[in-house]
Structure 1
Amino acid sequence: MGAPDDVGDAGATGREGGNEQAAQKAHRRRRPEAHTFSLWHCPFAFAGAWQPWAKPSAPPERNPLRPIVVTEFISLDGVVDSPGGGAYEHAGWTFKDIEFVPEAYAVKGREQEEASALLLGRVTFEEFAPVWPTMDDFATYNAMPKYVVSRTLDDAAVTDIDWADCHVLRSLDEVAKLKEADGGPILVHGSAALVQSLLAAGLVDGFTLLEFPVVLGSGKRLWAEGIGRTDLRLRNTETYSNGIRLAEFDVVQ
């Protein structure tokens, strides 16, 4: 299996993640104590209390594969484009005209505590790498191993940076080997093109989706044409007073 096309992987502050400075200003107007960056870049700033996922015990004779879990902010019509701001016509849609309810974002704190590694596309990695190491709220993420799937990035561009414990994977075969190694869940933020490649290769095990009560009608979608059918089993769902719905799915393999 080859690596996904790097050019197609919209990042956190580009088409997919949006302009975080714009998100900062919008959140600061609504909530003075909010973090400098958007909720997408500061996912557990409003974590609050949470209960960890149940972790089924594995038979002692085998080492189960590490699950890859995709986490996204998503519209009702499947758009993940620029949730915090950017050039997209509806950029910043996660906070525009949507009441702020802290408990809707509690899952973001739980995700960070449960993850054992991050897996990112190239553009998302390049957007995160200069920002996340400076954020105390991401101490757990910053300390864990981080992997970027790319055919084009030089090794030095991944390993010789201020973000510790970063590694480059050159193919989806290497991602599959990562799943076989010891460790816990592997979390994918953003990286829509990478997610589509992982889905096509049967490497995604679950989704954590914060679905916003808005239909955008255009923009980059998580479910792209041609990715084929994926059957999901709902594991947990919660609906909040502002219309945001949390849906956690297992992929039926």
Structure 2
Amino acid sequence: MRRLIITAFVSLDGVMEAPGGEEEHRNAGWTFNQLPHDDAVYDLKDQEQLEAGALLLGRRSYEAFAPVWPSMTEEFARYNELPKYVVSSSLRQENLIEGWGEISILRSLDEVAQLKEDDDGPLLVHGSAALGHSLAEADLVDRYHLLVFPLLLGAGKRLFPTTEKDATRLRLMEHEAFSNGVQKMILDVSREGS
């Protein structure tokens, strides 16, 4: 069974980044303009790209990434080759862009659960806040790759859902602190006792 991993840049108070400056994100761009740069922070992103089996995106993130990522041949070479799955009830096949490899539309979380049954390498979720909330609520997330920035942003899109549900236990698998205060946290969702 393949692992479903949510990967995110996040502030200490749980606000997700929108590095492309999307208008619905109140504080877009903070990962690049609030702290001194440290290349080591982004080693995780290179590792993810090498290990990923496919990308899983929500419609809005797909629409933000699709016009940009295919032209970033050096930065996203492997991502551009990977199969991509977009979870959407409204996106139509004719709205998919050409030249970004294999792209499939999934209409339900049941289809995501079926996709997890394959053994083709991890499914990586970038951005996609609403999808991430739905996946967490459906207990489909296996791991979180977080780069936690030492900032309190107060408002913005949240990484974790705020719906009423039982506690989710996480197990810290890896941790590293960088010179600029960013922390890498790799957390597995613990399903012990369930």
* Counterpart residue number, 2:91: 153
- C-alpha change, 1:107 and 1:197, in structure 2 (3 Å) is same
Counterpart CA distance in 2 for 1:126 and 1:84 is 12
* Counterpart residue number, 1:76: 12
- Which SS does the other structure have where 1:136 is aligned? coil
User: Larger Cα Rg: Structure 1 or Structure 2?
Assistant: 1
Q: Name the structure where strand makes up a greater proportion of residues.
A: 2
* Counterpart residue number, 2:65: 128
- C-alpha change, 1:131 and 1:97, in structure 2 (3 Å) is closer
- Which SS does the other structure have where 1:73 is aligned? strand
TM-score by length of 2: 0.92
Q: How far is 1:81 from its partner? A: 4.4
- Moved segments of 4+, more than 4 Å: none
Counterpart CA distance in 1 for 2:119 and 2:13 is 37
Whether 2:66 is the aligned partner of 1:66: answer: no
Q: How far is 1:85 from its partner? A: 2.9
Counterpart CA distance in 1 for 2:152 and 2:103 is 36
Larger RCO, structures 1/2 (Cα 8 Å, 6+ apart)? 2
1:116 pairs, out of 48, 53, 76, with 53
Does structure 2 retain, via aligned residues, the 8 Å contact 1:84–1:94? no
Whether 2:172 is the aligned partner of 1:225: answer: no
Letter in 2 for 1:67: R
Q: How far is 1:89 from its partner? A: 4.0
Work out the percentage of aligned pairs sharing the same amino acid.
Answer: 51
Q: How far is 1:97 from its partner? A: 3.0
* Counterpart residue number, 1:141: 79
- Which SS does the other structure have where 1:95 is aligned? helix
Counterpart CA distance in 1 for 2:91 and 2:20 is 26
Does structure 1 retain, via aligned residues, the 8 Å contact 2:175–2:183? yes
- C-alpha change, 1:130 and 1:227, in structure 2 (3 Å) is farther
**Mean Cα displacement is larger for which, 204-213 or 73-82?**
73-82
Note the aligned Cα RMSD (angstroms): 1.4
* Counterpart residue number, 2:181: 243
The count of aligned residue pairs is 188
TM-score by length of 1: 0.71
Q: In the TM superposition, what are the counterparts of 1:13-92 in structure 2 within 5 Å?
A: 65-87=1-23, 88-92=25-29
Q: Which structure 2 residue ranges, 5 or more long, are not aligned?
A: none
